[in-house]
Amino acid sequence: MVNRKSTVQKASKGVIEGYYNDTNVFNPKDISNGLMPHFDRNKALKSVRKDSIVLASLNTLVDKSLDKGYNIFKDTNQKNEFLTKKLNELKFRRLLRPVFYNLFAYGNVFIENVKDGNDNIKELHILETTITQPVANSHGEILGYTQSEGDNGKTPFWKPEEVTHIALTKLTTGIWGELDIESIYTSVLIKEYVYSYLGWLFGTNQFKSFYNIEEANSDQIKEFLSFVKKAEGNIQKPVIARGKINHQILRDFSDGETILNLLNKCDANILSLMQVPPILIGLPGDSNRSNSDSQERSFFTRINAVQKVVEDEVSFDLFEKIGYKNNYLKFNNLKDVDIGQLLEQAERMKLIGFKSNKVEEFLKENNFPITGSLIDKDLYAPQPMESNEEKSEDMQPSRERKDDGESNEKIGSGEEGTTREDQLVKKGNTHDYSYTEPGKSQDEE
């Protein structure tokens, strides 16, 4: 590891943690030069490759980060179809996957841009993070980037405008971002030791034993040890010894539950530090409804934070270096779109007075699955209140409200009750609705 030093920046008189000697010429054999992260990047790679929980968590983080896709916008907040097409030709979508892998694993990633003779971008590449090295002077000014290994023994060098360095976690003012995976390295080592022991235990079909051969000389002990070692590779091979042997098992598998609890604790530490809910990698965990919702929110918060870092670095660094200034990368919302809920919210916004363009902006921000102009501006113009529809029965004369006090004059049922005939007569209808006995005319009545 490199001994950490601090240098004073002349411009601000402040301390820049993590900067070392001038590195105009990078010498990989001289570890006092160069800017190195505090944790070995190869150990981080080993942690990912050796532990299934770390690898599964890493895959889940990357998959979810890219699940909903992205868009490229101009400074006018309109989608830039030209740049999107150009980036597709550069395989930018495929490039984003290793970008997120490197950020979640190493906390750092280096993107190289390659231009043709006319200064037009033609290729984008990810530089190997384990060997890529920023070069800076004592004032913290980036002079370029290099690698400790190159083709034909030559050390490659890139100018600052040829590389975009994204550092995820910046605890200090140094160039390198922290390697977050360092915090889980101990848990990975413990699991590795436990699995090594369990592999030996079940591979040799034996527990650690203690042998005491009474009255044995050195030749007899060596002979016995030779048989024991050969028997470790063949469980059917007998062990032969001369003399009386006392054999004692130092431990049995009654502590198997303790070993299992230790492994589960290590897995829980790894998931906690990588901020991945257990249920997302196939572990049941404590997956009740309320706890699952809380874990999902925390998981989305983590991914969204990393996406914001990538958006800023790509928009304000990479795009400028490849000749597309004032264009912005924006990842889509991580949550699935509920179209019905979005429309209901948009309707409420309009009812309480939101402007049409703000409602449309809200729908676009929440990934409404229709592009272009979403709202007809004439839809909300004042409309005449005329209608040719027929009146409902509730609007007929018999349904109209009575005069004040009329309902109180005749209340009840039978002969004293207010009837439909009373209401119609009051309206000027002269038709007689009086009752006629069957078989008699009204004149006979």
Domain locations in the chain as residue ranges: 6-182, 183-281, 339-380, 394-426
pLDDT in tens, the chain (445 residues): 333 344 444 445 555 555 544 344 444 444 333 456 666 777 778 777 888 888 899 999 999 999 988 989 888 778 888 999 999 999 999 999 999 999 998 889 999 999 998 889 999 999 998 888 888 776 667 888 988 776 666 788 999 999 999 998 887 777 777 777 777 888 888 888 888 888 877 776 666 677 777 777 888 888 888 888 887 777 677 777 777 777 766 666 666 778 888 888 888 888 888 888 888 887 776 555 556 677 778 888 889 999 999 999 999 999 999 999 999 999 988 877 678 888 888 888 888 988 888 888 888 777 777 766 777 765 555 555 555 555 555 555 555 565 655 555 555 555 555 555 555 555 555 555 455 555 555 555 4
d(CA 173, CA 345): 44
CA angle, 229 as apex, 227 and 232 as ends, to 5°?
Answer: 110
Q: So what's the pLDDT on residue 98?
A: 94
CA neighbor of 106 nearest in space, from 130, 136, 126, 127:
130
Residues 176 and 18: beta-carbon distance below 8 Å: yes
**Mapped to the 3 state alphabet, what secondary structure does 273-302 carry?**
HHCCCHHHHCCCCCCCHHHHHHHHHHHHHH
> CA dist 369 to 43, 85, 121, 267, 391, Å?
43, 20, 32, 39, 41
> CA dist 220 to 152, 210, 213, 227, 237, Å?
57, 16, 9, 11, 18
As a whole number of Å, the end-to-end CA separation of the chain is: 122
Helix or strand run (H / E) with residue 202 = helix 182-204
Whole-prediction pTM value?
A: 0.65
Residues 51 and 188: beta-carbon distance below 8 Å: yes
CA neighbor of 320 nearest in space, from 62, 153, 176, 111:
111
Q: So what's the pLDDT on residue 11?
A: 45
Helix (H, G, I), strand (E, B) or coil at 239: coil
Q: Which residues contact 214 (CB under 8 A, 6 or more apart)?
A: 243, 244, 245, 246
Here the contacts of 50-55 (C-beta below 8 Å, separation 24 or greater) are: 50/188, 50/192, 51/188, 51/191, 51/192, 51/270, 53/267, 53/270, 53/271, 53/281, 54/181, 54/184, 54/188, 54/270, 54/274
Q: So what's the pLDDT on residue 413?
A: 54
Helix extents (H) in 237-382? 256-274, 289-313, 319-321, 339-351, 356-365
> CA dist 269 to 91, 191, 193, 198, 266, Å?
36, 12, 16, 21, 5
Q: So what's the pLDDT on residue 23?
A: 41
CA neighbor of 333 nearest in space, from 65, 68, 63, 84:
68
Q: So what's the pLDDT on residue 22?
A: 39
Helix (H, G, I), strand (E, B) or coil at 378: helix
Q: Which residues contact 375 (CB under 8 A, 6 or more apart)?
A: 356, 357, 359, 360
- Which string of DSSP letters, residue by residue, matches 112-132? EEEE-TTS-EEEEEEEPTTTE
Q: Which tokens belong to 422? A: 């009373």
- Residue 137 corresponds to which amino acid? N
Task: For residue 88, report the phi and psi dihedrals to the nearest 5 degrees.
Answer: -65, -40
